[in-house]
Amino acid sequence: MNRTSFLTNFLLIGLPLTYLSIYFSLNYSGFCFAKMRYLSDYEKLKSAFDSLNNAEQLRTPIAGKMQNIEFRDIEFIKYKSFDEYIKENPDCCTINPPGGVDAAIPDSFLNPRILGLDSGEGIRIKFKVRYLDENELPRSQEITAGIVLQNCGKKVVFD
Q: Is 136 helix (H, G, I), strand (E, B) or coil?
A: coil
Q: Which of 128, 134, 132, 127 is nearest to 76 (CA)?
A: 132
With contact defined as beta carbons under 8 Å apart, do 32 and 38 qualify? Answer: yes
The stretch 75-95 carries a mean pLDDT of 90
> How many Cα atoms within 13 Å fall on the side-chain side of residue 10?
7
* pLDDT interval class at 39 (50, 70, 90): very high
CA distance 122 to 109: 16
Could you tell me the sign of the dihedral formed by the alpha carbons of 22, 27, 31, 35, in that order? positive
Query: Given this model, what pLDDT does residue 32 score?
Result: 92
* pLDDT interval class at 41 (50, 70, 90): very high
Query: Given this model, what pLDDT does residue 101 score?
Result: 47
Query: Given this model, what pLDDT does residue 100 score?
Result: 54
Query: Given this model, what pLDDT does residue 57 score?
Result: 66
* pLDDT interval class at 23 (50, 70, 90): very high
Q: Which residues touch 125 (CB under 8 Å, ≥6 apart)?
A: 45, 48, 49, 52, 92, 93, 144, 145, 147
CA distance 65 to 132: 20
- The DSSP element (H or E) to which 45 belongs, if any, is helix 41-53
Could you tell me the sign of the dihedral formed by the alpha carbons of 32, 92, 48, 158, in that order? positive
The stretch 33-56 carries a mean pLDDT of 91
Please say if the pLDDT value at position 93 is more than 90. Answer: yes
CA distance 153 to 46: 9
Please say if the pLDDT value at position 159 is more than 50. Answer: no
